[in-house]
Structure 1
Amino acid sequence: MKPLFLFLSLILFLGSCSEYQKVLKNEDIKAKYELAQSLYEEEDFKRSNRLFEQIAPKYIGKPQGERVMFFLAETYFQRKDYNMAGYQFERFIKSYPKSEKVLEAAFYGASSYYELSPEYSLDQTDTDKALTKLQTFINTYPDSEFFEEANLMAKELTIKKEKKAFEIARQFNKIGEFDYTFLTPAVTAFDNFVSDNPGSIYQEAALFYKLEAASRLALNSSERLKQERLEHAKTAYLKLKKQYPETAYGKQADKWLERIERDSQGYTEVSK
């Protein structure tokens, strides 16, 4: 029975391929439309996409045009061709702004750009675009069934951008262990991160590493700049402890404070 089943399946598959190739080369738009829809319903998105690509220009301005354009965008999405999917969903919204499918198109369009967002270490242009699209969707459709999912995606992308900014500042700090000229941009980068991302999951770490960079900078400064920088480092310590009294970096922070105070005391005695 099993060989017979496989044989029959093969015959059906070959017949389907033959029909598809015949319709693909045919000029009959209606036949293409019907087969494209049938293949779409069978979740054969690759072949249905190719047919929708062929007929979409022919249906502009026609009653079926809205349906064809939406299916074209969706088959790109299902094939994971997110660049084309995002573009086609945007075209759909512009072409049919009053369509019942606009909400869905807006969500899947934003989702397409979400899928294009790269690793945090790479250029985040696509992430910025995805966040803009997702935020627009969230603001426009607060009661949508996709609202929670859109929020989760936006949160994930926001964290990704925060991680990039945090890691850039941290890299300055790491290099600053060997080249003190990198400590000033490290302090500035952590300052900017803290002010720009008040609710970030990296906020506590950023405050600690700012303290570390500021302390290292102060301890290795010239006499002309040392006192001011030591005070700046103390302020960084106090800010960390104020916002996170039970900080996970407590022991390390206390050690930096001890070094700052010891150096401050020695500086004061020399000044006298």
Structure 2
Amino acid sequence: MKMRHLLIVLSLGAIGWATSCKSEFERIRASGDPTAMYAKATDYYDKGEYQKAQALYELVISSYRGRKEAEDISYRYAYTYYHLGQYILAAYYFKNFVQTFGASTKREEADYMAAFSNYQLSPTFRLDQSYTVSAIEGFQVFVSTYPQSEKVADCNRLIDEMRKKLERKAYEEANLYFDLRNYQSAIQTYENLLKDYPETDNAERVRYMIARSAYLLAINSFVEKQEPRFKEAINHATEFLERYPKSEFKNEVSSFYDNSRKKLKQLTNVGYQN
């Protein structure tokens, strides 16, 4: 009986302790006292309790609008979203901070974090790359705006990383066109890749695929379209062989060139006879 009574007392004590801990946040949130909510929000923030900090900052933002504390509240409020992994809203509120507090000493950090939040949203190359593009643009603007910042090197590194991702996506899209035997679209996409990413380490293979696609396009075309397309295949093969005389693809591209010339000669002879 005594043991049962003791267990009940301990259970009630535990419930009371848990309730008191929970009620502190609830009590302050319901108090309607901006000063108390701001102080407690900052306390929660400093302890890493970002969900509670966010809820309280949200309640006091309007009360402090136009006052000196507004800058600190808006800055920390944006960071609560970042720390909670809510990167879309983090990017939004960091940008909002910059627009609202343009003269702030925290502006540089907020500009960087807006771009970095979009970077955190950048997915695998197989998915839509809208956030990747936004992050690149954000970092480029940052580098232009703060050329002396210690974060410039990081920005450039992240830009290069994301451009590699976009390049990979473009390359795989071109390969997909090739695999589907849509050689015209493949050629266009490969050529756009070289134009958009002139620094690519994959230029030799991309130009090989252009030459290969051009040859296969000509071979598989109706007769009336073959002559200009074989000429185009010859041009692409010639450019490749001149650029990469020692390439592992040299023999194959040479065969594209030789076969295209033979086919072109046959077409010319047929046309002459007709």
- 1:96 corresponds to: 101
Deviations 1:109-137 (A, max 9, x none): 11111122233233322222222111100
- 2:42 corresponds to: 37
Rounded Cα–Cα distance in structure 1 between residues aligned with 2:263 and 2:241: 25
- 1:195 corresponds to: 195
Q: Is the 8 A contact 1:211 1:233 kept in 2?
A: yes
- 2:229 corresponds to: 229
Deviations 1:21-60 (A, max 9, x none): 2212211111111111111111111211111111112111
TM-score, normalisation: structure 2: 0.84
Alignment of 1:82-231 (within 5 A): 82-176=87-181, 182-231=182-231
Name which of 63, 67, 76 aligns with 2:72: 67
**1:264 to 2:269 alignment:** no
TM-score, normalisation: structure 1: 0.84
Instruction: Letter of the 2:259 partner, please give it.
Output: R
Q: Is the 8 A contact 1:234 1:257 kept in 2?
A: no
Q: Is the 8 A contact 2:38 2:60 kept in 1?
A: yes
Offset, 1:188: 2.0
Structure of greater Rg: 2
Rounded Cα–Cα distance in structure 1 between residues aligned with 2:18 and 2:116: 33
Q: Is the 8 A contact 2:81 2:87 kept in 1?
A: yes
Rounded Cα–Cα distance in structure 1 between residues aligned with 2:263 and 2:131: 52
Greater mean alpha carbon deviation, residues 83-92 or residues 109-118: 109-118
Offset, 1:98: 0.5
Q: Is the 8 A contact 1:187 1:210 kept in 2?
A: yes
Are residues 23 and 243 of structure 1, via their aligned partners in 2, closer, same or farther at CA, if it must alter by over 3 Å? farther
**Alpha-carbon RMSD:** 2.5
Aligned positions, number: 257
Are residues 104 and 246 of structure 1, via their aligned partners in 2, closer, same or farther at CA, if it must alter by over 3 Å? farther
**1:58 to 2:63 alignment:** yes
Rounded Cα–Cα distance in structure 1 between residues aligned with 2:267 and 2:69: 86
Q: Is the 8 A contact 2:129 2:166 kept in 1?
A: yes
Q: Percent identity?
A: 25
- 2:30 corresponds to: 25
